[in-house]
Each structure stands twice: as C-alpha cells, then as structure tokens.
Structure 1
Amino acid sequence: MANNRLALITGASAGLGAEFARQYAAKGWDVALTARRLDRLDALARELEEKHKIATITISQDLALVKGVDTILRELKEAGRYVDALVNNAGYGLPGTFFDTSWKDQAAFIRVLYTAPIELVHKVLPGMVERKFGRIINVASLAGYAPGASGHTLYGSVKAGLIKFSESVHAEAQAAGHNIHCTALCPGFTRTEFHDANGTREAADQSPDWIWMKAGPVVEAGIEAVTKGQPVVVPGAVNKGLATLTKLVPEPLGRAVMKQQSKRFWMKDGD
C-alpha cells in the first residue's frame, strides 16, 4: 500500500473533505486526513481501510495555528510519505459583519481559508516538481464570482483569491513543463454540514431544492477537472449558469441582488 500515491485532504472530518477521501480511496489512493476532530478522522480512516484496502494517516491539527502546516508535513515526513495530491478543503463561515466581529476571528478565518492553503501549496510543490507529478485542488466557491455582500465579509474575497491563485499556479506549472495540475473547485449550495456550522441551516432549508447539489457530484467534478488539467471548474448546470450570469449582469443590479440575498444566507439571526 505504501507504493500507492498519497492524497492529503484538509477539513477531512466531514462534508466535502470526507467525500474527497472516499473518492480518492475508491481510486486506490492512500489518504492523509487532517482536521481538528481526530475521532471523526479515525472513524473515516477505519472505514476506508476496510472497504478499499488502502493506507491512511490521520493528523489532528488546527490550521489557524501558525505552525499548523509545518506540523502536518512533518508528520507525513516522519511516516515516510509525501504528497502526490493536495486537496485544500478546510473552511467555515464567519457570520456577522466586519463591524461586529473581532480581528482575532477574522485573522483566524484568513489563516484557515487562505494563508494555510497557499502555504501548503508552496511547501508541497518542490517535491511534486522533483517527482514530476502533482495534483492540487483548492476548494473555492461560486461566491468568488459574485459581488460582495453584507455579512461573511471576507468569504467571497478569499474564494475569489483562491480562484486566481489556482489559475496562476496551474499556468506556471504548465509553462515550466511540469506534470502538475492545479484546479479551483467552485461549488454553489452543497448539502454538507457547512450551514449547520455557521448557523444558517434554517435559511438554507427554505431555499428551493433545484439550487442544491450533493457532495458526491461536486467532488467528482473536482477530481475529474484536476486530472484533465482544468484550472477552474464550476460543478452543475445551475451553478454554471449562475457563474455566467455574474459576468453578464450589470454590476449595480448584481450588488442589489446580493444585498437582498445576504439577508437570508449571510447575516446572523438578529442582524
């Protein structure tokens, strides 16, 4: 099993991260699973080992910590493994406006959703170049295409940044002739624990079923895109249509729509 390629997946304890682990394991990859909840990681690891006969590594780590990335990579090195595929999936929402949230919370948010993913890419790339193979998926969001809105202030900014970053890394790898692909996966509304964690489940449940996707097809689209060397992928026909609309709708109208929708999905109760 140690001869299998290894996929490192952040935020692997639930949602898209757990689904990435299941799909990579089903393809015969070994998986390194990292998140804060070790009990969940260990349970998932047992499931994948029994079902797919692959090797797993579980690492409990908080990416909000400055040394979080180094700790993860050090544990992999001590296990004698290196990263063939990286899935930067860890993330969460920070309800409320920029005015009523603390800088400590905002700084941790930036660290987990933006700085740590970029640091991981930077630190695994040299090994990928040396081995002449690498696959990187940065889980961005359809929010990266939309105008800014009130509430969850930095979410769209971070996701837009991940899209541009992924495009740039992919372009640089291709220009250098490396067999390294980097893809920004940009899902829309996906049925995971995300809305439970950020307190918007009630509002999300009131939205129509046709805007939702299940985790399986979203992850499948991401893996397929990075395998083919597609720098950005928006999964699902509805999401593709919405992404196109954001480019066609006049900016004032787009901001007005986001202002209305943010009252439902982005604001804390009482805001």
Structure 2
Amino acid sequence: METLSSLAYPPPPPTFLNAFTVLCMVTMPFTGFSEVNGVHLQYSKFWNVGPRKKFVGTVSGRTGMAIIYLPALLASISSLTLFGRDEGLRFLLLRLSLTVHFLKRVLEVLFVHKFSAQVAVDAMIVISFSYLMMSACTIYSLLLCQSRFREPAINLTYPGLVLFLIGIGGNFYHHLLLSRLRGKYEKEYKIPKGGLFDWVICPHYLFEIIDFIGIAFLCQTTYSFVVAMNTIFYLAGRSHATRKWYRSKFEDFPEGVKALVPYVF
C-alpha cells in the first residue's frame, strides 16, 4: 500500500468519479473474457461474429468509427480552451496527450484505415460514450486531485510522456502497415506482415496499451490506472480473439505468431 500511495494521488472525496472508478473495476474482468468467449463488440472484423442480436442498425465502418472517437476528441480539445496553464505542466501534458490520442484516431479513420465491415449502431453508441467519459473523467480526476493533494512521491510525468510517444508512434506505424495490405478496391482480409506483425498479430493493440499506460503515468490518479488496466484486459481478450479468427480463416497462419506479446501471449 505504501508503494501504491507513492505512485498515485489518494482517491478524492466521494463523487460520481469514485462510482465510475468502482464500476470500471467491477466490469474489468468481463471486458477481456467476453472477447475470448466470442461475445464481441460489433465493429471491425467482428461486427457480425458471434451470437446474433437485433441491432438498432448499422452504419459504414468509416462513419461509425469517426463517431466513436469524435466526442472524446471534442472533450479533450475543450479542456485545452477551458483551462489555462496555472494548473501546471502535468495537467497540460495530460490534456495534450488525450487530444493527440483522439485526433490521431479520427485522422486515421479519415485518411489511413480501409474499411470492409459495418459498425452496429448500438455498439457505436456504447463505445463512443465510454471514450467520452474516459477522456472527461481522466482530466477531471487529475484536476480534482491536484486541488486537494500533494504530488505523488514518485513523479511519473516524464516516463509517462515517453511511454505515450512510443505507444502512439508504434500504434500509428502498425496501422499504416495494415492499411497497405489491401489495394484500393480490395476488401478481403490478409495476414499482416512487417514490423511486429511477424511476432504478434496485434502489435497495434500492444502499442495502444503502452499509450494508455503512458497516459496513466502522466495522470497518476486511481481512475487513470484503472482505465489502463481495463484497456489491458480488453485488448488482451480482443487480441486473443483476433488470433483465433485469423487461424480459422487462413490455413497458413504461422503458429509462432502470438496474439499480443512476442513469445509470451
């Protein structure tokens, strides 16, 4: 507990943020296990995989993914205009990192990714709201803690910034490799090659995890660490399901290619 208290701000007084943090902790194990067990959020290659549901409807992949990320981007940009520099470097870097994170995602949707699947409207709404709340609550949690508590004994601001830059750069690079797999009018999936794809099928997820760990280090609140853990659970399950999907579709899928972590998982 002493080590934990030196790494993170104490939890703030009871607010909706604490309730949201507890909710994230309670649902954390299910986010990954549901993906492993075939209950997928209905987007990308899994939009029509698993038990069928009565969908509210579907939208194109590009439209759906843009709507998923746009509210969180607007919240992050708003935080840059609503607050000045008086709150310190940590708070500024956190807001900038979240803005860059979601701006990158929107730009990738518009100019990098190629879509061959639909997005279920109900999944789109749930994911979009989750990202919006994550962005807003991460910023609010740091603002709340900085106004009440001293800085944690171990300052992770600069390690967090380094991890964030590594994560966002690696994620973009592997998204770029994925986008180049298919020609302009090709829609079928192929086994990714190049970069860390020769060792894991989801290196973009690995770097996204590093990205979120970096943001958690920049923030150093209980909420931000819970979000990072939730991301790890979910993307570990999603990567496992992705590897299983590729193995079912391609007989020549390399056995040595893991799901998320080279040689390990």
* TM norm structure 1: 0.27
Structure having the higher strand fraction is 1
Q: Which has the bigger relative contact order, CA under 8 A and spacing at least 6?
A: 2
Q: Which is richer in helix?
A: 2
Normalising by structure 2, we get a TM-score of 0.28
